[in-house]
């Protein structure tokens, strides 16, 4: 009988301990969840929010055919200024080299000594034109009078310098364009009368136009 009592008492104590243990476990679990909820209320859990970036659609940098046409139409009326360059005027100078006056009855070319001058073309920067000018006359109005320049140093006439006149007027005549040999040369007047009548030469000179 005593064993049965002891056994029953042990079972009772065991059940009591199990019940008490369950109560303690439940209480701990309850209070633990309660504290967790209160903590979440005080310190809410912040979850990182990942924003999706929107890709901006960029317009293409290249211009279409319609775009180019619009640009051309818009700029067609725009006139760019035209810059005109005006060349500076060329300044020319004219000089006369006097030779003198004389006469002859010769019917072929003869030198008129003293009717002469030295000419050096290098003294003139750029010769544009040169001429032989003289007034010729025959008082009897018979025949013609001829005159020309002669290069004494190089022993030849100046090509293109020959002029002639007839009658008593004594008008100034001018040769075509002539050229000079390089260096300082002596140029003398030569003259003749076709019919041997005395012919006069007045105010012979060399005309030079240069820049």
pTM for this predicted structure: 0.59
CATH architecture of the domain formed by 93-210: Sandwich (2.60)
Instruction: Determine phi and psi for 50, rounding to 5 degrees.
Output: -95, 115
Please give the structure tokens belonging to residue 71: 């640009």
User: 10-46 pLDDT, tens per residue?
Assistant: 777 777 788 877 777 776 766 666 666 555 555 555 5
Cα angle value 122/125/126 (rounded, 5°): 105
User: 127-161 pLDDT, tens per residue?
Assistant: 999 999 999 999 999 999 999 999 999 999 999 99
């Amino acid at each position: 009988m005593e064993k049965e009592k002891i056994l029953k008492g042990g079972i009772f104590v065991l059940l009591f301990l199990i019940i008490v243990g369950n109560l303690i476990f439940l209480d701990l679990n309850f209070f633990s969840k309660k504290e967790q909820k209160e903590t979440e209320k005080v310190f809410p859990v912040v979850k990182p929010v990942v924003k999706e970036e929107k890709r901006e659609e960029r317009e293409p940098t290249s211009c279409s055919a319609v775009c180019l046409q619009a640009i051309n139409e818009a700029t067609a009326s725009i006139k760019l200024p035209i810059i005109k360059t005006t060349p500076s005027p060329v300044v020319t100078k004219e000089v006369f080299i006097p030779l003198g006056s004389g006469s002859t009855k010769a019917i072929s070319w003869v030198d008129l000594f003293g009717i002469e001058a030295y000419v050096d073309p290098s003294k003139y920067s750029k010769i544009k034109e040169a001429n032989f000018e003289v007034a010729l006359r025959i008082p009897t109005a018979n025949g013609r009078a001829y005159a020309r320049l002669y290069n004494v140093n190089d022993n030849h006439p100046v090509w293109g310098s020959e002029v002639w006149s007839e009658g008593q007027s004594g008008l100034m005549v001018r040769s075509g364009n002539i050229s000079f040999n390089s260096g300082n040369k002596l140029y003398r007047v030569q003259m003749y009368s076709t019919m041997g009548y005395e012919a006069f030469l007045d105010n012979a000179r060399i005309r030079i136009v240069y820049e």
